[in-house]
Amino acid sequence: MEKDKASLVMKSLREGRVILTRDSKMSRFTGTRMVKIKSDFVEKQLFQLVKELDLALDKSDLFKRCIICDEKLENIKKDSVKDIVPKYVFETQSIFMRCPKCKKVYWQGSHWALVNKFLDRLRGE
Ligand SMILES: [Zn+2]
């Protein structure tokens, strides 16, 4: 497992990434950007990240990337998803996006408003 940790640190350095960890033994790796997550609760964890990493939460960046491959989503015509998405979704939604890599289809569901409200709370609004 030590090898895995070292390889994770190397990858973070190579790609300019931040390591989020709860593993106290990771703190002995220096030279890479790391946040030691404190809370057991997701909401508190996110508050910690926004504060410690000084994250600018721009709503225009929301729902622009695939949650699986991180590829930029492309807009697609509603007609092209008729046989792919559930009937209710097709009838109630008008905007659809697709990941060019894994082909997963996205739409603005009811979670969209919830995420927006949550972001307001994270930004202290
Ligand atoms: Zn994807």
Report pLDDT digits (tens) over 70-123.
999 999 999 999 999 999 999 999 999 999 999 999 998 878 888 888 888 888
pLDDT, mean of residues 58-77 = 90
Are residues 90 and 38 part of one domain?
no
Are residues 69 and 40 part of one domain?
no
Are residues 67 and 40 part of one domain?
no
Distance 32 CA to ligand 1 centre (A): 28
Distance 30 CA to ligand 1 centre (A): 33
Distance 92 CA to ligand 1 centre (A): 23
Show the domain range for 38: 2-52
Are residues 110 and 89 part of one domain?
yes
Are residues 48 and 6 part of one domain?
yes
Counted domains in the chain? 2
Are residues 71 and 113 part of one domain?
yes
Are residues 48 and 63 part of one domain?
no
HSE-up of residue 110 (Cα within 13 Å, Cβ side): 2
Are residues 43 and 8 part of one domain?
yes
Are residues 32 and 67 part of one domain?
no
Q: How confident is the model at residue 44 (pLDDT cuts 50, 70, 90)?
A: very high
What is the pLDDT, as a whole number, of residue 30? 82
Residue whose pair of structure tokens reads 């895995």 in the numeric block: 4
Beta strand ranges found along the chain (DSSP E) = 19-21, 34-36, 74-76, 96-98, 105-107
Q: What is the mean pLDDT of the chain?
A: 90
Distance 106 CA to ligand 1 centre (A): 10
Distance 14 CA to ligand 1 centre (A): 23
Cβ contacts of 118 within 8 Å, gap of 6 or more: 43
Distances (CA, A) of 54 to 48, 79, 107: 9, 41, 29
